[in-house]
Amino acid sequence: MSSLSWSDALVLNQPRMDHTHREFVALLAELELALDGRLQAVDDALSQLIEHTEAHFAQEERWMAALGFTPENCHTFQHAHVLQVLHEVDRLHQADGDTRMVRELVGELAKWFPAHAQMMDAALAQMMAEFGFDTETGSRAVELPAAAQPISGCGSAACS
């Protein structure tokens, strides 16, 4: 049994985001399986998770930019922190082959992801719906108000 499984609690009713999130959960489960027996696959599974997560976060950050978020918002900061941890765990694993840090990473990501999705990504998905945001074209059916201030918080509130 993996540390994190896809469930209705993770569905944000934003199809492209939900698809990307399903992929993340599946890749995390694959890494966990690699740790539980297919040792030579750990490097590949970790690399795939990192590659996916980089693209996943970059996609969300493009959407945020199109919706008026500043580059310095807490959602993006959280993405940067997670990527920093992923790269550091990968570096340490490559240096010594020890899988303990990778196993700890899997457990921590399994705790972090549902909260991130249900708060920060849910706020982004709600904004996308409110503005009729098209994930394929990056266009909005509803324009941002002319007097709108750039969003530096998480989508629904400022960071505190």
- Among residues 54, 29, 58, 34, which one has the least CA distance to residue 44? 34
Residue 30's contacts (CB-CB under 8 Å, 6 or more residues apart) are 45, 48, 49
User: Which residues face 28 on adjacent strands?
Assistant: none
**Cα separation, 23 vs 35, whole angstroms:** 18
pLDDT tens profile 5-43:
999 999 999 999 999 999 999 999 999 999 988 555 899
Residue 72 phi/psi, 5° resolution? -100, 70
Specify whether the CB–CB gap between 12 and 122 falls below 8 A: yes
| Other CB atoms within 10 Å distance of the CB of residue 142 | 9
pLDDT band at 160 (very low <50, low <70, confident <90, very high): very low
pLDDT tens profile 85-139:
999 999 999 999 889 999 999 999 999 999 999 999 999 999 999 999 999 988 8
CATH superfamily of 14-130: Hemerythrin-like (1.20.120.50)
Q: What is the mean pLDDT of residues 64-77?
A: 88
pTM: 0.88
Specify whether the CB–CB gap between 32 and 107 falls below 8 A: no
